[in-house]
Amino acid sequence: MPNSANPHAQPIQFFDKLGHLFNHRKGSDHGAIYLIQKRLTYDPAEQQSTTAKLFPDLAPNKPLPVLVRATNGKSKRDDAARAGKEKLSVVVQPHELDAFYARYADVCKAGMAALKPRDKSKKRAKAKKKKAAS
C-alpha cells in the first residue's frame, strides 16, 4: 500500500487498478489510456569517474528499476476533466521484471480487446476530396 514516503503502488494493486481503468474506458465512446515506462536513476550525487559523468547511462553501478505509469489521459487544463483523471504508477525492481511484464502483458491484452480503433475513414475521405479539388 502506498504511503507518503513511497507514493507508488505495489504491482498487485497496480494491475487491479489498470484493469479497472481499461474496463472504465470500455463503457465510453472516446478517450485514451496512456502507458509509460522509464528507467529510474539513482542519486546523481554518487561519486563517479569523469567518463561516467559524461555518459552515466553507459555503465550503471547496479541494475536500475523501472517506473511504469498509466493514466486515462484526462486533461490537466480543464478542472472538470482533471477531477476524473486517474494516475497509476509502480516501481519494478530488476529481479521482478520478468514476472511483472508477463502479468502486465496479460492485463494489457485483455484491456486492449475492449478498446476500439479510431475511425479514420472520414479523415481519409476528406483528404481524398481535398486532393481531387486541387
pLDDT values of the chain reduced to their tens digit, one per residue, 134 residues: 444 445 667 888 999 999 988 888 776 767 788 899 998 876 655 555 555 566 666 666 778 899 999 998 766 666 555 567 888 999 999 999 999 999 999 998 888 876 666 677 778 888 888 878 77
- Domain range spanning residue 77? 11-133
Residue 29 lies in a domain: yes
In this structure, what DSSP letter does residue 63 have?
P
Q: Is 69 helix (H, G, I), strand (E, B) or coil?
A: strand
DSSP helix/strand/coil, 39: strand
CATH label of the domain that carries residue 107? 3.30.720.10
Q: How many domains, in total, are found in the chain?
A: 1
Q: Identify whether 3 is part of a domain.
A: no
In a domain, 43, yes or no: yes
Residue 5 lies inside a defined structural domain of this protein: no
Q: Which three cell numbers stand for residue 115?
A: 478498446
pTM: 0.66
Q: Is 31 left (phi over 0), alpha (psi -120 to 50) or beta?
A: left
